[in-house]
């Protein structure tokens, strides 16, 4: 099959959705299909990335409400050139809306996947009535809509009044190899000491400000817990640095910036446990990655994370925006002699969620729609 993956954001921008699309495209290719990515040009990065499939970038639009005609024309031209057999739009808006609007002109099966940011209740698209209406209309009029968690599937059903063919297909995870990895330069001082890790895009919805407050509380209690490593980059980087300095916890926190490949591998392989104190998520890849490395997770009791973290078995759950409970969970995890067993349970959880398994689920869905 010639599979088009249509997305508003892609590499070299790095986030959960971008990684999911890359992994799916690689697996589709490994299964003998021909994936083609059509993506909006990155906002800031000019870095080029060598990839084993074709990527077509289109110009960014000044408005995601009124100026979509040029994107529609571009997409129709690419469809005529490639003769796609399936169109897989990531996010209900704007990409899902565009392909749903042109569905009868495209004349091939169309699928929308929500990763959460588009349809979650407090998301920016849900707050704008015209975009909410367009998203609902799009999901009702394509051949299938997938959510990466059970909660997202439930939201899809609610928004479409049960009129969408909704399916839950979770995110997948890479199986880590046995290589030692490379110690990030900023972590050399703690290379032989235990540390806890959080990893990902530094955005307010990740709740890292709450995490820093929890570290400050633990410092006031004069208790001994592992050093915190915050790996990633994003718009909150400077704010978090300033917060750590204001709380006087700079000696307890290491900011590595963005990490990839061997450095990311070393961090996940050597951390004591993982932290995901998010305020909102679809299904966080970072939690699945931590599980794949056999690391328990302290996460918040929100959709997406709740479906992964089982308290007492694969980690701990606390309420979002609760630095006191987060500090208590960190202290308990630091002192828990059974933390290794929890990591084993977490690793076992990912055995049925590898990327080849997840890609095969999408191919099965695509073939059922042809």
**360 lies in the same domain as 306:** no
Q: Which of 9, 219, 224 is nearest to 117 (CA)?
A: 9
Higher per-residue pLDDT: 240 or 47:
240
CATH number of the structural domain spanning residue 206:
3.40.50.2000
Residue 67 lies in a domain: yes
Is residue 91 within 8 A of residue 115, CB to CB? The reply is yes
**217 lies in the same domain as 322:** yes
pLDDT at 215 over 90: yes
Q: How many CA atoms lie within 13 A of 96 on its CB side?
A: 30
Tens of pLDDT, residues 319-355 = 999 999 999 999 999 999 889 999 999 999 999 999 9
Residue 180 lies in a domain: no
**329 lies in the same domain as 205:** yes
Q: Please give the pLDDT value at position 261.
A: 94
Per-residue pLDDT, averaged over 165-184, amounts to 96
Query: How many structural domains are present in the chain?
Result: 2
**65 lies in the same domain as 8:** yes
Place of tokens 């606390």: 318
How far apart CA 218 and CA 333 sit, in angstroms, is 13
Does residue 233 sit in helix, strand or coil?
Answer: coil
Does residue 39 sit in helix, strand or coil?
Answer: strand
Domain that holds residue 55: 2-172+354-369
Cis peptide preceding 343, ω within 30 of 0: no
Q: Which of 19, 6, 22 is nearest to 78 (CA)?
A: 6
Confidence of residue 89 (pLDDT cuts 50, 70, 90): very high
Write down the mean pLDDT value for the chain.
Answer: 95
**Which tokens sit at 316?**
């701990």
Residue 179 lies in a domain: no
Per the document, the length of the chain is: 370
Residue 43 lies in a domain: yes
**162 lies in the same domain as 208:** no
**Which tokens sit at 244?**
């750590």
Residue 53 lies in a domain: yes
Alpha helix ranges (H) inside 107-207: 124-127, 129-141, 150-159
Q: Please give the pLDDT value at position 63.
A: 83
* 337 phi and psi angles, rounded to 5 deg: -70, -15
How far apart CA 189 and CA 339 sit, in angstroms, is 24
Is residue 115 within 8 A of residue 20, CB to CB? The reply is yes
Share of the chain above pLDDT 90, in %: 89
Residue 84 lies in a domain: yes
How far apart CA 10 and CA 38 sit, in angstroms, is 9
The Cα angle at residue 225 between residues 223 and 229, in degrees rounded to 5: 140
Going by the DSSP 8-state scheme, the letter that residue 116 receives in this structure is S
Going by the DSSP 8-state scheme, the letter that residue 228 receives in this structure is E
Residue 204 lies in a domain: yes
pLDDT at 62 over 90: no
**141 lies in the same domain as 206:** no
Residue 244 lies in a domain: yes
Going by the DSSP 8-state scheme, the letter that residue 30 receives in this structure is H
Q: Please give the pLDDT value at position 30.
A: 97
Is residue 343 within 8 A of residue 336, CB to CB? The reply is no
**262 lies in the same domain as 129:** no
Is residue 177 within 8 A of residue 364, CB to CB? The reply is no
């Amino acid at each position: 099959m010639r599979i088009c993956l249509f997305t508003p954001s892609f590499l070299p921008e790095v986030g959960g959705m971008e990684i999911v699309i890359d992994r799916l495209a690689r697996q589709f290719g490994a299964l003998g299909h021909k994936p083609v990515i059509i993506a909006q040009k990155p906002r800031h990065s000019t870095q080029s990335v060598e990839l084993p499939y074709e990527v077509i970038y289109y110009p960014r639009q000044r408005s995601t409400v009124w100026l979509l005609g040029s994107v529609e024309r571009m997409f129709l031209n690419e469809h005529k050139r490639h003769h796609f057999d399936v169109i897989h739009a990531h996010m209900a808006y704007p990409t899902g809306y565009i392909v749903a609007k042109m569905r009868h002109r495209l004349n091939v099966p169309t699928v929308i996947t929500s990763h959460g940011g588009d349809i979650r209740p407090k998301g920016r698209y849900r707050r704008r009535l015209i975009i909410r209406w367009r998203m609902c209309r799009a999901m009702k009029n394509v051949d299938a809509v997938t959510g990466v968690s059970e909660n997202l599937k439930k939201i899809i059903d609610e928004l479409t009044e049960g009129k969408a063919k909704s399916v839950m297909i979770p995110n997948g995870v890479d199986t880590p190899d046995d290589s030692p990895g490379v110690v990030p330069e900023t972590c050399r001082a703690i290379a032989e000491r235990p540390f806890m890790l959080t990893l990902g895009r530094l955005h307010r919805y990740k709740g890292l400000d709450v995490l820093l407050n929890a570290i400050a509380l633990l410092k006031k209690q004069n208790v001994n817990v592992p050093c915190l490593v915050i790996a990633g980059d994003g718009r909150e980087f400077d704010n978090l640095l300033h917060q750590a300095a204001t709380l006087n916890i700079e000696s307890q926190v290491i900011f590595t910036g963005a990490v990839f490949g061997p450095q990311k591998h070393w961090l996940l392989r050597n951390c004591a446990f993982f932290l995901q104190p998010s305020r909102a998520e679809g299904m966080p890849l970072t939690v699945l990655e931590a599980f794949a490395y056999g690391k328990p997770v302290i996460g918040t009791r929100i959709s997406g994370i709740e479906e992964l973290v089982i308290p007492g078995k694969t980690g701990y759950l606390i309420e979002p925006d609760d630095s006191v409970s987060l500090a208590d969970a960190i202290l308990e995890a630091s002192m828990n002699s059974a933390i290794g067993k929890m990591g084993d349970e977490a690793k076992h959880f990912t055995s049925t969620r590898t990327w080849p398994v997840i890609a095969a689920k999408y191919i099965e869905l695509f073939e059922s729609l042809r």
